[in-house]
């Protein structure tokens, strides 16, 4: 699995999760976002279009990052959840906690 990071024209850090976001690699996502926060970035979009599955550790890292970003006065949006991942967020009621857009484009427009 791997993460792709790019900075869009509006200054949004767009992080693509290619593969799984699970216990074995969640720290990579955490350090990507933490370093960006330290550099002064404040807008984050996590794009799940190419994501296979997410486990509870992956969900946990998203929750903790959303808190950190909010505490830093930043903004986090999620996009590209397939039906399985939507179910996952609904089951855990995390859909009420995150700003979720269907596509990365819609999410970017909302910043």
Partner 1 sequence: MTVPLRLSVRHTSSADEAGLPFQIALAVPSDLGLVEQVVDLVARHSLAAGLPPRRVRFHLRTALAEALANAMRYGNRLDQARKVSVRVEFAVEAIHLHVADEGDGFDPARVPDPTAPDRIGADGGRGLFLIRSLVDGLEFNQKGNALCMTLRRT
Q: Quick one: tokens of 5?
A: 């990071």
Residue 26 Cβ vs partner 1, minimum distance, rounded to whole Å: 9
Residues paired with residue 76 on neighbouring β-strands, in sequence order: 44
Site for partner 1 in 60-99 (CB under 8 A): 60, 63-64, 67, 80-84, 87-88, 91-94, 96-97
CA distances from 59 to 22, 47, 105 (A): 8, 14, 22
Are 37 and 72 spatial neighbours (Cβ–Cβ below 8 Å)?
Answer: yes
Q: Which residues bind partner 1 (CB under 8 A)?
A: 1-7, 19-20, 22-25, 28, 32, 39-41, 49-57, 59-60, 63-64, 67, 80-84, 87-88, 91-94, 96-97, 102
């Amino acid at each position: 699995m791997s993460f792709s990071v790019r900075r869009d024209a509006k200054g949004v850090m767009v992080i693509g999760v290619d593969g799984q976001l699970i216990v074995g690699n969640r720290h990579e996502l955490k350090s990507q976002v933490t370093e960006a926060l330290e550099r002064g970035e404040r807008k984050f979009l996590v794009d799940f279009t190419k994501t296979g599955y997410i486990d509870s550790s992956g969900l946990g890292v998203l929750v903790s990052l959303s808190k950190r970003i909010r505490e830093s006065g930043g903004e986090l949006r999620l996009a590209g959840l397939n039906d399985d991942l939507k179910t996952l967020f609904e089951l855990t009621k995390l859909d009420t906690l995150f700003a979720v857009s269907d596509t990365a484009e819609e999410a970017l427009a909302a910043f």
